[in-house]
Amino acid sequence: MTDGGSGPAISPAVVDKFKPIECAQVADVHRLLGLGCVLQGLYPLRPESRICGPALTIRQVPLQDRRRWDLQETSIIELIQSAQAGTVIVIDAGGRLDVSAGFGGNAATLAVQRQLGGIVIDGACRDSAAIIDTGFPTFVRGTTHPPSHGVYRATCINSEPIQLGSGAAAISVGPGDLVLGDRDGIVVVPVSRAVEVLALAQERQEVDLEIRELLASGRGPEDRTFQELRSRARRLQGLGTTD
């Protein structure tokens, strides 16, 4: 059902090292490196949900002959069944909220059983209460009732980059790119830049944690160590070191 991700892949060891890093730290590093890979507008159904895993990408396009939808449809159940554990399914549904992108409670139940890492939909899901009950990390633009049967067909299944968002705020996601998400939005790490981003994001997080410890202990902007850490943080954010 998928092409198996015949291109470059991020190693499981690198994925695991990204998991404890806050998405905000990765977004800061993206600014430093000039990477346009941060997206707002897609949020988790459960605010505490987080995702971190390689992308399996899908684009959904409108059907031309809706009477023969059953001959053209690739169901989300089939895609989940073929996906590897830890995978994050990413669906470009064009931001549509009038119908679901084919993902609901049954699909979420199977995704949990298959140990997938999560799903990101630039569009809507249905059965949101049932999905929340499964605990499966689900990031969407909205929720709705109508199903996708007879409306969409899946194309570009893990074969080429897809788009999330629109206009100047849009980003692309390629097969195998690392997808991270928390309650603030989505961050994508291009597969070819993963090791580089990881090293900088680890440093950015370390600096931020040290700053928090200083603030919690009562030390603030007048403290020399705080000033040095703030300068490092700004450098890692691509902001320079000028106070």
Buried b (16+ CB within 10 A) or exposed e, 4-43: ebeeeebeeebbebbeebbbbbbbbbbebeebebbbebbb
How many independent structural domains does the chain possess?
2
Q: Is the predicted pLDDT of residue 203 greater than 80, yes or no?
A: yes
Rounded mean pLDDT, 28-56? 96
Residue type, 224: R
Q: How far apart are CA 112 and CA 230, in angstroms?
A: 41
Q: What are 3's two structure tokens? A: 């092409």
Percent of residues, the chain, with pLDDT higher than 70: 93
Q: How many residues make up the chain in this entry?
A: 243
Q: How far apart are CA 84 and CA 3, in angstroms?
A: 12
Range of the domain at 64: 37-189
Average pLDDT (132-139) is 98
Q: In this model, does residue 211 exceed pLDDT 90? A: yes
In a domain, 20, yes or no: yes
Residue 69, pLDDT score: 66
Q: Tell whether 104 and 207 lie within a shared domain.
A: no
- Same domain? For 18 and 67 the reply is no
Tokens representing 93 are: 């549904």
What would the two tokens of residue 181 be? Answer: 């998400």
Q: Is 162 inside a domain boundary?
A: yes
How far is the C-alpha of 101 from the C-alpha of 87, rounded, in Å? 18
pLDDT at 16 over 90: yes
For 78, the 3-state DSSP assignment is helix
Angstrom distance (rounded) from CA 108 to CA 116: 10
| For residues 200-221, average pLDDT | 95
Specify whether 117 is located in the same domain as 50.
Answer: yes
Mind listing the pLDDT tens digit for each residue in 74-128?
788 889 999 999 999 999 999 999 999 989 999 999 999 999 999 999 999 999 9
Decide: 58 and 75 in contact? Cβ < 8 Å: no
- Report the Cα–Cα distance between both ends of the chain, in Å, rounded: 53
Residues 144 and 128 in one domain: yes
CA–CA dist 140, 169 (Å, integer): 16
130 and 19 inside one domain: no
Predicted pLDDT of residue 8 = 72
Q: Is residue 173 located within the same domain as residue 209?
A: no
Please tell me whether residues 82 and 177 are part of one structural domain: yes
Which of left, alpha, beta for 148 (phi over 0: left; psi -120 to 50: alpha)?
alpha
Calculate the alpha carbon distances from 84 to 80, 81, 87, 114 in Å.
Answer: 8, 8, 6, 8
Instruction: Note whether residue 3 is domain-resident.
Output: no
Residue 1 has pLDDT above 60, yes or no: no
